[in-house]
Chain A
Amino acid sequence: MFEQLDALLLARIQFAFTVSFHFIFPAFSIGLASYLAVLEGLWLKTGKQLYLDLFKYWLKIFAIAFAMGVVSGIVMSYQFGTNWSVFSDIAGPVIGPLMAYEVLTAFFLEAGFLGVMLFGMNKVGKKLHFAATLMVAIGTFISAFWILSVNSWMQTPVGYEIGANGQYLPGDSWWDIVFNPSFPYRLVHTVIAAYLTTAFVVGGVGAWHLLKDRTNLHARKMFSMAMWMAAIVAPIQIFAGDLHGLNTLEHQPQKVMAMEGHFESHPDGAPLILFGIPNSEEKRVDYAIEIPKASSVILKHDPNAPLAGLDTIPDDEEPPVGIVFWSFRIMVGIGFAMLGIGVWSLLARFRKKLYDWPMLHRAALVMAPSGFVAVIAGWITTEVGRQPYVIYNLLRTADAASPLDAPAVAASLLAFVVVYFAVFGAGVWYILHLMHKPPHAGEYGVKRGDTGPIRTAGITPGPSQNPGDPDTLPRDHEEATDGR
């Protein structure tokens, strides 16, 4: 029994670790693919070299981020079976087809056109190349569509029947399953989050180069575009997040109770707890700073509306309050900080000092990685808030795991941690080096086999090759020569 629990906990940590790591890359590449499509479209429309330069600058970064997303994504598609085999068996008939559709309509589309997008500009011509870029961008969106439908079904399962063998089987309508109650809200909220994440990365890179050289036209353009996104999309995101919250209140009330830290029911108006330390044992929030009745105003649009608390939920169905409470606050806090940057940029534009306000640039630089933090925090909020269920109110996480022993899962978890930090750490390092280089006129694209320009990337050349290394030993006297 005790060993079983350990294996379960390890499997959960492994899934949380691999999915969180994976989520970082699509959160960036969904937005970046669209940004690249916009840049290339503007270049085709206006013929301005500036847009092509920016396209090529970000394409190099995209290539690395996308590769990391692909390899960490394949891990996910197998991990349902390796570590959550009971879940796979029981829920496979319903969610398996949705994931198969993701592969058929999104993964192939992205992968099929990626090669042309990265290396094919001179082979297929401008228009076809733009079409390839669009296909990759559309592919990233379709991918988000299906995988969020799957996740939403696990949050708000509808349209299923329970088979004689215990499996959940699809009901009459696939439409009901795909467009389950929380899906439209989750899709909008998550895709906008990806766009904002990318906007703040682009804005941060633009700000970095403006701080060094405020006359850099390329930096100005990317900073300006990113700040428009912040000013326009951040308020939309807060609105969409609010709607998503109301939807969660309707379908998963205990998740909202945990987000709000409402251990007790409030029959005549619930306070909004801004900060505090949730104490699950005593079932109260210590040191709470509250705004009376504000939670009822937000969630019910009525200061005196009653709100039920976790006291109405059996203890064994309560999500871990502390994690959900804090991750929710981190996400919301970053959302409002993004709004602040957006408003500040509007003010700067109005005063005609968008490119001459170092404080704004420093703030944008600090906010550059904030989207990733917000996305992961939001993900934790929704996933941990669903606990103790893996399929809400149907299948408990504890009943969904594979029959694996703890040492096996511990070993794989350790391997994932070591490999991910080493491999993706290196990838992030390479991306930061590319970002560190100022964008300039005549930017080169993704080149292969021609290391000249790449060597100037600011990467410290490694130690000279060890003469004893087999790689450097002459082989067979058949060495290939250039220019054949």
Chain B
Amino acid sequence: MDVNVDLTTIWAFIIAFAVFAYVVMDGFDLGIGILFPTFDVGPERDRAMNSIAPVWDGNETWLVLGGGGLFAAFPLAYAVILPATYPLIIAMLLGLVFRGVAFEYRWRDPGHRRYWDAAFTGGSLVAAMAQGMTLGALLQGIEVVDRSYAGSWFDWLTPYTLLTGLGTVAGYALLGATWLVWKLDGESQHHARKLGKRAAWATLVLMGGVSLYNVFLNAEYAERWLTAPEIYFAAPVPILTAIVAVMLLRALSVNRHSKPFWLSLALFFFGMAGLGVTMWPYVVPPGLTIWEAAAPERSQIFMLVGVAITMPLIIGYTAWAYWVFRGKVADEGYH
């Protein structure tokens, strides 16, 4: 049992890492989709698209690892969360269908490009909103009876989940805008910087709102954040978040290229850390801990071997692919 405790904890961190990698990497792709209507038709849109065309597929794969990893390491959580948030998951998947094909189709069919651009934006927006609302539905608690979802149809639709959904949309827009600040130059970069500032404020306000809501959402969350001795472990998270937020707003006000993006990543990192503090040790609050939902030790060990071998390689060649397409995006795209 002792070994199992450690393995389960390791797996919780691996899944959290996959979710974080997905959120920040596909986050900037989806964010660009969300901001797309504000870009000029023509070179500005083309370059925004070109800046993510070679990497979006790899970014999206982290979502499959998050889902597949949850299925493998915490099958019971996978079997509870997905039916509980059924309409959100279906909406997200269909949104990702539209978003994903738009990358190819918009170049194939200039006559209907604006429709595929609209599909790109609509798909990105729906996917982001659905992901944020799914997170909210998880945090507010899912009713489980006999290893199965026992809530009703619309449990996932509350003011709280709408707030987490909007927060995610704003956060992705921030990532997308700061990515473009890095990858574009001239007027387009100036435009991205302006969008970044607005998105940063929206993200910070909504993040604050969600955090406050969390404290009132249930007594256990409040206790974790507001009473000693937990507060000593929890307090650094909001303090560091505030410092990063100030640095981010400053970086967007001066002529920096990559710094706003890295600070946005840090903001997301602390946001995730805050979620971790809030949820731990539950994978499905309020009743299902990571140990109760965990796969048996043999499954965990088998997969851990795979992760230990492949993850350094994956990170290596993913980094290489990003390196190949480094620098500002030119008008002609990649030939």
Binding site for B on A (CB under 8 A): 63-64, 67-68, 70-75, 77-78, 80-83, 85-86, 88-89, 91-94, 96-97, 99-105, 107-116, 118-124, 135, 163, 165, 167, 169-170, 174, 402-405, 408, 411-412, 415-416, 419-420, 423, 426-427, 430, 433-434, 445, 447-451, 454-455, 457, 459-463, 465, 469-472, 475-476, 478-484
Closest 10 A/B residue pairs (Cβ): A92-B75, A462-B111, A448-B333, A115-B54, A96-B72, A81-B82, A119-B334, A449-B333, A449-B46, A89-B79
Q: How large is the interface on B (under 10, 10 to 19, 20 to 34, 35 or more residues)?
A: 35 or more
Cβ proximity bits B90-108 to A, threshold 8 Å, 1 near / 0 not = 1001101110110111011
Q: Name the residue on A nearest B83 (C-beta).
A: A402
Asked whether any CB of chain A lies closer than 8 Å to the CB of B287, the reply is no
**Nearest Cβ in chain A — how far from B237, in angstroms?**
30
Contact assessment for B57 and A115 in the assembled complex, using a CB-CB cutoff below 8 Å: yes
**Nearest Cβ in chain A — how far from B322, in angstroms?**
9
Q: Name the residue on B nearest A105 (C-beta).
A: B310
One of B224-232, B243-251, B277-285, B294-302 at the interface? B294-302
Contact assessment for B299 and A97 in the assembled complex, using a CB-CB cutoff below 8 Å: yes
Contact assessment for B63 and A74 in the assembled complex, using a CB-CB cutoff below 8 Å: yes
Contact assessment for A112 and B110 in the assembled complex, using a CB-CB cutoff below 8 Å: no
Residues in chain B near residue A109, CB distance under 8 A: 317
Mind listing 14 A-B residue pairs with CB under 8 Å?
A72-B97, A81-B67, A81-B79, A92-B295, A93-B296, A96-B78, A99-B68, A112-B317, A115-B324, A120-B334, A434-B108, A462-B112, A479-B187, A482-B331
A427 and B101 in contact, given A93-B75, A123-B324, A454-B108 (Cβ under 8 angstroms): yes
Contact assessment for B97 and A423 in the assembled complex, using a CB-CB cutoff below 8 Å: yes
Of the candidates A92, A114, A403, A416, which one forms a contact with B94 in the assembled complex, judged by CB atoms under 8 Å apart?
A416
Judged by DSSP, the binding face of A is helix
Q: A108-B314, A118-B54 are in contact. List 9 more A-B contacts (CB 8 A).
A: A92-B79, A92-B295, A99-B72, A108-B318, A115-B321, A118-B53, A448-B334, A449-B43, A480-B191
Contact assessment for B71 and A88 in the assembled complex, using a CB-CB cutoff below 8 Å: yes
Of the candidates B63, B83, B186, which one forms a contact with A480 in the assembled complex, judged by CB atoms under 8 Å apart?
B186
Of the candidates B82, B107, B148, B190, which one forms a contact with A78 in the assembled complex, judged by CB atoms under 8 Å apart?
B82
**Nearest Cβ in chain B — how far from A106, in angstroms?**
10
**Nearest Cβ in chain A — how far from B323, in angstroms?**
10
Complex CA distance for A270 and B55, rounded to whole angstroms: 57
Contact assessment for A96 and B73 in the assembled complex, using a CB-CB cutoff below 8 Å: yes
Contact assessment for B335 and A122 in the assembled complex, using a CB-CB cutoff below 8 Å: yes
Residues in chain A near residue B105, CB distance under 8 A: 64, 426-427, 430
Complex CA distance for A89 and B73, rounded to whole angstroms: 11
A77 and B68 in contact, given A70-B100, A447-B107, A461-B111 (Cβ under 8 angstroms): yes
A86 and B46 in contact, given A103-B69, A108-B318 (Cβ under 8 angstroms): no
Asked whether any CB of chain A lies closer than 8 Å to the CB of B141, the reply is no
Asked whether any CB of chain A lies closer than 8 Å to the CB of B236, the reply is no
Cβ proximity bits B285-326 to A, threshold 8 Å, 1 near / 0 not = 000000000011011001100110011001001100100110
Asked whether any CB of chain A lies closer than 8 Å to the CB of B149, the reply is yes
**Nearest Cβ in chain A — how far from B119, in angstroms?**
8
**Nearest Cβ in chain A — how far from B98, in angstroms?**
7
Complex CA distance for A366 and B89, rounded to whole angstroms: 40
A68 and B101 in contact, given A115-B54, A445-B335, A459-B111 (Cβ under 8 angstroms): yes
Complex CA distance for A82 and B150, rounded to whole angstroms: 14
Residues in chain B near residue A63, CB distance under 8 A: 104
Contact assessment for B97 and A81 in the assembled complex, using a CB-CB cutoff below 8 Å: no
Contact assessment for A170 and B296 in the assembled complex, using a CB-CB cutoff below 8 Å: yes
Asked whether any CB of chain A lies closer than 8 Å to the CB of B29, the reply is no
Asked whether any CB of chain A lies closer than 8 Å to the CB of B202, the reply is no
Asked whether any CB of chain A lies closer than 8 Å to the CB of B40, the reply is yes
**Nearest Cβ in chain B — how far from A459, in angstroms?**
6
Q: Name the residue on A nearest B72 (C-beta).
A: A96
Contact assessment for B302 and A170 in the assembled complex, using a CB-CB cutoff below 8 Å: yes
Q: Name the residue on A nearest B150 (C-beta).
A: A403
Complex CA distance for A23 and B98, rounded to whole angstroms: 19
Q: List which B25-43 residues lie within 8 A (CB) of chain A.
A: 37-38, 40-43
Most chain B CB within a 10 A radius of its CB, from A75, A82, A99, A412:
A82
Contact assessment for B61 and A78 in the assembled complex, using a CB-CB cutoff below 8 Å: no
A120 and B54 in contact, given A74-B96, A101-B303, A103-B65 (Cβ under 8 angstroms): yes
Complex CA distance for A89 and B187, rounded to whole angstroms: 52
Contact assessment for B303 and A478 in the assembled complex, using a CB-CB cutoff below 8 Å: no
Residues in chain B near residue A80, CB distance under 8 A: 71, 78
Contact assessment for A471 and B333 in the assembled complex, using a CB-CB cutoff below 8 Å: no
Of the candidates A68, A116, A408, A483, which one forms a contact with B324 in the assembled complex, judged by CB atoms under 8 Å apart?
A116
Complex CA distance for A77 and B94, rounded to whole angstroms: 13
Complex CA distance for A404 and B130, rounded to whole angstroms: 19
Residues in chain B near residue A423, CB distance under 8 A: 97-98, 101
Residues in chain B near residue A81, CB distance under 8 A: 67, 71, 78-79, 81-83, 89
**Nearest Cβ in chain B — how far from A112, in angstroms?**
5
Asked whether any CB of chain A lies closer than 8 Å to the CB of B264, the reply is no
Residues in chain B near residue A470, CB distance under 8 A: 37
**Nearest Cβ in chain A — how far from B84, in angstroms?**
9
Residues in chain A near residue B40, CB distance under 8 A: 475, 478-480
Residues in chain B near residue A92, CB distance under 8 A: 71-72, 75-76, 78-79, 295
Asked whether any CB of chain A lies closer than 8 Å to the CB of B64, the reply is yes
Contact assessment for B69 and A454 in the assembled complex, using a CB-CB cutoff below 8 Å: no
Most chain A CB within a 10 A radius of its CB, from B47, B302, B318, B334:
B334
A405 and B153 in contact, given A96-B75, A480-B40 (Cβ under 8 angstroms): yes
Q: Name the residue on B nearest A75 (C-beta).
A: B93
Complex CA distance for A184 and B50, rounded to whole angstroms: 42
Residues in chain A near residue B321, CB distance under 8 A: 112-113, 115-116
**Nearest Cβ in chain B — how far from A143, in angstroms?**
11
A86 and B79 in contact, given A103-B61, A103-B65, A480-B44 (Cβ under 8 angstroms): yes
Complex CA distance for A17 and B153, rounded to whole angstroms: 24
